C-alpha cells in the first residue's frame, strides 16, 4: 500500500473506528437504583447489599485524621496488607493485593488472564461484574445455571466442569453467592481447583459466617486459587471502596503488575486498617445482620407460594412465582411505599423474583409489613374474582 492510499483510508475513518471492536457495543455501567437512592434520600435503600449501620466513631476519626494528609501520595499499603495476611494465616503482604472495592480487584484479575476470544465460566444467577469485566477484554462469559430444586438454588459443579476447555482462562464462584445466599460444597472447590485454571473465589459476604468458612487455605495447596474480599458488606464501608485479593505470593505479585499506581487512597487504606482491627464492631454488625435475616424469613414463612432462600449474607432472595405473582409488581408496590428492592430476570420459568437487603430494624419491619399487605390484598382480590 502506498503512503497516499494509507493516508486516504485513515482520513475516511471516524473516531469510532479506532475503538477495539469488543468495546463498541458496551456502555458505561450505571446502577439506576443507586442513582435513584442518592437523588431521593427519603427512600429506603434495601437493594444494593449495603450495610445499614453507619461507620463507628473510630472509623470517622481515622477518616478525619488522614483527610488532613490528602495532599500526600499513598504508600503501597504494607501495614494494612500485613494485617490482612495475619488475619488470614498467610505469610505476609506479598500475599495481598489492594483495590478500590473488590470490583477493581476483579478488573485486575481479568486483565491478568483474559484476552480476545478467551472464556470465563460463572454460575448464574450471580453478581454482574464478572461478565462486565470479561466482555470488556473481548472475552466470552460462559454461564452455568444453578439447579433450582426443593426450593433451593444449588451449584452445578458437574455441568461447570463439562464446559471447561482450552479457551477457559478463569472460573469464578461467589461463596456465598449473590443472590442465592448459599455456600458451595467444600469438595466442589477442590474439584474445580484441581483443573489448574485460575479459580477466583469471591468471598464478599464471608464475614457473615466467619472466616472459618473461607476457602483461603486452598491457596497453600493450589497456586491457581485466588480469593477476593471486600469491606463493602459486613464491615459496612461500601462508599470507601476497599477490597483485596489473597493468593500465592507469585500469583499475587504478577496480578499486582496490573495495579494502577496509587490506586487505593491514603484515607481508604488507613480506615480499612482501623476497621480490620475492630473485631467487636464487626461482630456486632454480623450478629445484627444474622438476627435480622432470621427475623424476615420467619415473618414471611407462612405466606403460601412465597419461597425464600436461606441466606448466609446480608440479603434474601424470594420467588413469588409459585404464588402467581410477579417480582416486578412487588418491587413497584414497595417503591410506592418508599422501599427500593432489587429484581431478577425471569428464570426457571418464574418471573416472581425479588431480593431485599437487610436494613435498619424499622426498615425490615416495614418490608415485612408491605409484603404481607401485598399478598393479603392481591389474594383477597383473586378470591373475590373467583366468587
Ligand X SMILES: Cc1ncc(COP(=O)(O)O)c(C=O)c1O
Check binding of 218 to ligand X (CB under 6 A). no
Q: Which stretch binds ligand X (CB under 6 A): 131-139, 230-238, 270-278, 363-371?
A: 230-238
Of 85 and 313, nearer to ligand X (C-beta) is 313
String marking each residue 137-176 x if it binds ligand X according to CB under 6 A: -------------------------------------x--
Q: Which three cell numbers stand for residue 263?
A: 490506586
| Closest among 153, 130, 109 to 316, alpha carbons compared | 153
Of 49 and 292, nearer to ligand X (C-beta) is 49
Check binding of 238 to ligand X (CB under 6 A). yes
Among 52, 55, 243, 343, binds ligand X (CB under 6 A): 243
Distance CA 119, CA 168 (A): 5
348 dihedral zone (left: phi>0; alpha: psi -120 to 50; beta): left
Check binding of 181 to ligand X (CB under 6 A). no
Residue matched to cell numbers 469491606: 231
Q: Which three cell numbers stand for residue 135?
A: 466482555
Binding residues among 37-66 for ligand X as defined by CB under 6 A: 49
Among 172, 230, 266, 308, binds ligand X (CB under 6 A): 230
Check binding of 232 to ligand X (CB under 6 A). yes
Q: Which stretch binds ligand X (CB under 6 A): 100-108, 112-120, 219-227, 359-367?
A: 100-108
Distance in Å, CB of 271 to ligand X, minimum = 14
Residues of this chain that interact with ligand X (CB under 6 A) are 49, 101-103, 127, 174, 178, 202, 204, 230, 232, 238, 243
Amino acid at each position: 500500500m502506498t503512503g497516499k492510499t494509507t493516508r486516504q483510508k485513515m482520513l475516511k475513518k471516524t473516531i469510532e473506528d479506532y475503538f477495539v471492536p469488543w468495546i463498541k457495543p458496551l456502555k458505561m455501567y450505571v446502577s439506576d437504583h443507586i442513582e435513584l437512592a442518592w437523588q431521593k434520600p427519603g427512600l429506603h435503600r434495601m437493594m444494593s447489599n449495603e450495610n445499614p449501620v453507619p461507620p463507628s466513631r473510630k472509623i470517622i476519626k481515622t477518616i478525619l485524621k488522614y483527610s488532613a494528609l490528602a495532599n500526600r501520595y499513598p504508600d503501597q499499603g504494607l501495614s494494612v496488607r500485613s494485617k490482612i495476611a495475619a488475619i488470614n494465616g498467610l505469610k505476609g503482604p506479598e500475599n495481598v493485593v489492594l483495590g478500590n472495592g473488590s470490583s477493581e480487584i476483579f478488573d485486575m484479575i481479568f486483565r491478568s488472564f483474559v484476552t480476545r476470544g478467551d472464556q470465563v465460566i460463572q454460575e448464574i444467577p450471580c453478581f454482574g461484574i464478572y461478565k462486565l469485566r470479561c466482555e470488556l477484554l473481548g472475552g466470552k462469559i460462559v454461564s452455568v445455571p444453578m439447579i433450582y430444586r426443593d426450593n433451593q438454588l444449588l451449584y452445578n459443579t458437574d455441568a461447570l466442569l463439562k464446559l471447561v476447555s482450552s479457551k477457559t482462562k478463569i472460573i469464578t464462584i461467589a461463596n456465598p453467592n449473590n443472590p442465592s445466599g448459599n455456600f458451595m460444597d467444600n469438595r466442589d472447590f477442590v474439584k474445580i481447583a484441581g483443573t489448574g485454571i485460575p479459580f477466583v473465589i469471591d468471598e464478599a459476604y464471608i464475614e457473615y459466617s466467619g472466616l472459618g468458612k473461607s476457602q483461603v487455605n486452598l491457596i497453600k495447596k493450589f497456586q491457581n486459587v485466588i480469593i477476593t474480599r471486600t469491606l463493602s458488606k459486613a464491615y459496612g464501608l461500601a462508599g470507601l471502596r476497599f477490597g483485596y485479593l489473597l493468593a500465592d505470593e507469585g500469583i499475587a505479585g504478577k496480578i499486582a503488575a496490573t495495579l494502577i499506581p496509587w490506586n487505593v487512597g491514603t484515607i481508604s487504606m488507613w480506615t480499612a486498617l482501623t476497621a480490620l482491627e475492630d473485631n467487636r464492631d464487626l461482630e456486632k454488625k454480623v450478629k445484627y445482620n444474622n438476627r435480622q435475616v432470621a427475623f424476615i424469613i420467619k415473618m414471611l414463612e407462612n405466606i403460601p407460594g412465597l419461597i425464600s432462600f436461606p441466606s448466609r449474607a446480608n440479603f434474601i432472595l424470594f420467588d413469588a412465582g409459585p404464588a402467581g405473582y410477579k417480582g416486578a409488581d412487588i418491587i413497584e408496590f414497595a417503591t410506592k411505599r418508599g422501599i427500593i428492592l432489587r429484581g431478577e430476570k425471569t428464570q426457571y420459568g418464574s418471573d416472581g423474583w425479588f431480593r431485599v437487603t437487610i436494613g435498619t430494624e424499622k426498615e425490615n419491619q416495614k418490608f415485612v409489613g408491605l409484603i404481607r399487605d401485598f399478598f393479603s390484598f392481591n389474594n383477597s382480590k383473586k378470591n373475590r374474582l373467583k366468587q
